[in-house]
Structure 1
């Protein structure tokens, strides 16, 4: 894979720091949103258990707790990424790199599943069907755009990870004198 040398108009180091800070800010904003928004505005289905079990889980705030725990781990991993960039340690970047590609795959599956579910929704009349088709199209296009941006930022972080790893492998005394 060809490495990126720059992120937009900055170095991959700066792009990695911006990505980590954005991850922390978006995670905090999502945690706040999850706990502030009314419970009934978000549908929750497990697709494994019955509808009554889903309602019990929702009544005990289990989905909100799970999302909050996941976002707290995202904050932790983004914090590790910031420390890794500052200390130039590739092994501290590795959790973010691995989690990032897993999340990209999950995002793709989620966008496709949600948009297909809306396209296949059994509407009562033509206007409702039209509205669901519009919503499905917006979710599909917006999700793919978001996925492309996310993958670009992942490639920026991965490029910086490879640069730092190569620098660590060269060793302290094999580096150019101006990089010590």
Structure 2
């Protein structure tokens, strides 16, 4: 993979990495607030492993919300670690975000495809409801893929900065240019 030199054609990869870490924290906090404020019947959680009765029992105990909140808290922690790593110029502190980022991208792609296909295949006798499901599936598919592309670009920015910092660490303290000390 070719390294990126700039973020959005005007900022350095360092600035792009800081923005990505801050954006991850803000979006995680917004998602936690949304999950706990929106009414329960508007959010649907399914395990796909157990039966529908077990899913309803889990939902009544708020277990999916708690698990999602814990995951988002770890995301906040890893994004904060990314920001600290940029300031201290430590590549090994960036590594958890880089690994988590590519895993989340794969999960996001699977989620987008599963959700849109589920709406496309939703069986109903009502033509208006079928039409609305098809529109919603198309919006989820196109919007999700656009979001995935933006996410992968930001991941590439962070990965490029990670490689730059790692190479700088490998060169050693005395081999750096004087203006970078």
TM-score for the superposition, normalised by structure 1: 0.99
Shift of 1:140: 0.1
What is the Cα-based RMSD across aligned positions, in Å? 0.6
Q: How does 1:1-180 map to 2 (within 5 A)?
A: 1-8=1-8, 9-180=10-181
Aligned equivalents of 1:122, 1:115: Cα separation in 2 = 14
Q: When the two structures are aligned, how many residues end up with a matched partner?
A: 180
TM superposition shift of 1:88: 0.1
**Structure 2: unaligned runs, 5 residues or longer:** none
**Per-residue deviation, residues 93-147 of structure 1 (Å, max 9, x unmatched):** 0000000000000000000000000000001221111110000000000000000
Structure 2 length as normaliser, TM-score? 0.98
CA distance in 2, matches of 1:42, 1:123: 21
4+ aligned runs moved over 6 Å, structure 1: none
3-state SS, counterpart of residue 175 of structure 2: coil
